[in-house]
């Protein structure tokens, strides 16, 4: 069983920054891709970013490319999402998830409970 716990969400003004963290339990973290997703109010969940097992490869949604950075620390079983130049449209509940398969088409089987990010204009 894998448990994922996100933290770091909050309220920030447009143009500001936040760093989300996701700590994973279990021994499979370093053998798994990890991804971040978000669900804006009233909308479906959408992909944000993913990172390969070693951290050498990353993949981003066009909407966040150049503003968000995904990284991981396998020694700490933690994946991060550094968010900069935040916009009101980034407001959402952010989830981390464990993935497998090819990075760009990964299947995600374990999900965290989510952390709220609110960007005020």
Buried b (16+ CB within 10 A) or exposed e, 69-105: bbebebeebbbbbebeebeeebbbbbbbbbbeeebee
pLDDT digits (tens, 9 = 90+) for 12-63: 999 999 999 999 998 889 899 999 999 999 999 999 999 999 999 999 999 9
**Phi then psi dihedrals of residue 29, to 5 deg:** -60, -50
- pLDDT > 90? residue 11: yes
pLDDT digits (tens, 9 = 90+) for 67-119: 999 999 999 999 999 999 999 999 999 999 999 988 888 999 999 999 999 99
**Whole-number pLDDT of residue 26:** 81
């Amino acid at each position: 069983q894998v448990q994922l716990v996100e933290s770091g969400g909050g309220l920030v003004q447009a143009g500001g920054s936040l760093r989300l963290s996701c700590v994973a339990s279990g021994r499979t973290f370093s053998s798994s891709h990890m991804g971040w997703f978000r669900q804006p109010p009233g909308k479906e969940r959408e992909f944000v970013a993913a990172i390969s097992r070693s951290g050498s490869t990353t993949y981003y949604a066009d909407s966040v490319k150049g503003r968000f950075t995904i990284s991981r620390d396998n020694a700490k079983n933690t994946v991060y999402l550094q968010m900069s130049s935040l916009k009101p449209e980034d407001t959402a509940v952010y989830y981390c998830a464990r993935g497998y398969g090819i990075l760009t088409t990964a299947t995600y089987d374990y999900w965290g409970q989510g952390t709220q990010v609110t960007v005020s204009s």
